[in-house]
Structure 1
């Protein structure tokens, strides 16, 4: 898998791609996440940040996931004790892949166009 930090190290300063994901991981902060979430009518709680932190840690450790289905499955397993997919959709009603990645400042996995993932644009 590609190293995400390698991909983003050569991008200067925070900028936004078309769906408003931060292109660089470095300048992301909780205040930026709160601004992005507010645009989506979400008030972030510690539970939201737990999911966001898990996503960011996953991207930093493994790089960009191969597809949305694989990422959603990993998230379901990680949050199974709290309710899995239902829990994730309760927090991010427009999709735990699309909406959570966007708020986390992360790029969507390639070919993420299935509305079931909340990633159709």
Structure 2
């Protein structure tokens, strides 16, 4: 299994770079992952989504879809695409250190 180093810690990831062990994630890692995804600065609105993704993963075993994110996170679908232009659910999941949500391509 491949590993990637974030914030000085090697973490196991899948072939697409998603964490295979979300417990290894830390908030400082998110900044580096975001930069690699083309997001220079994580704002408070980004963090709302990132923390929501982690909470949903902990509760349900998978990250939410864009539709669920837009309805339940407090951030509209339109804003999700502004915050995470390369695909909100997939990009936010990667930054949040959780596996790729079901249904994401």
| TM-score tier (shorter) | 0.7 to 0.9
1:46-97, Cα deviation, whole Å (9 max, x unpaired) = 11111000010001011125xxxx62221111245x5x11011110000111
- Structure 1 residue runs of 5 or longer lacking an equivalent are 1-12, 114-121
How far, CA to CA, are the matches of 1:89 and 1:79 in structure 2? 14
Structure (1 or 2) with the greater strand fraction: 2
Query: Against the structure 1 CA distance between its residues 110 and 78, is the aligned structure 2 distance closer, same or farther, given a 3 Å change threshold?
Result: closer
Aligned length: 95
Is it true that 1:91 corresponds to 2:91 in the alignment? no
Alignment of 1:49-88 (within 5 A): 49-64=47-62, 71-79=65-73, 82=75, 84-88=76-80
How far, CA to CA, are the matches of 1:73 and 1:63 in structure 2? 17
* Counterpart in the other structure of 2:102: 110
* Counterpart in the other structure of 1:10: none
Is it true that 1:35 corresponds to 2:10 in the alignment? no
Length-normalised TM-score, structure 1: 0.70
* Counterpart in the other structure of 1:47: 45
- Structure 2 residue runs of 5 or longer lacking an equivalent are 1-9
Q: Give the superposition deviation at 1:34.
A: 0.6
How far, CA to CA, are the matches of 2:104 and 2:69 in structure 1? 16
Where 1:31 maps in the other structure, the secondary structure is helix
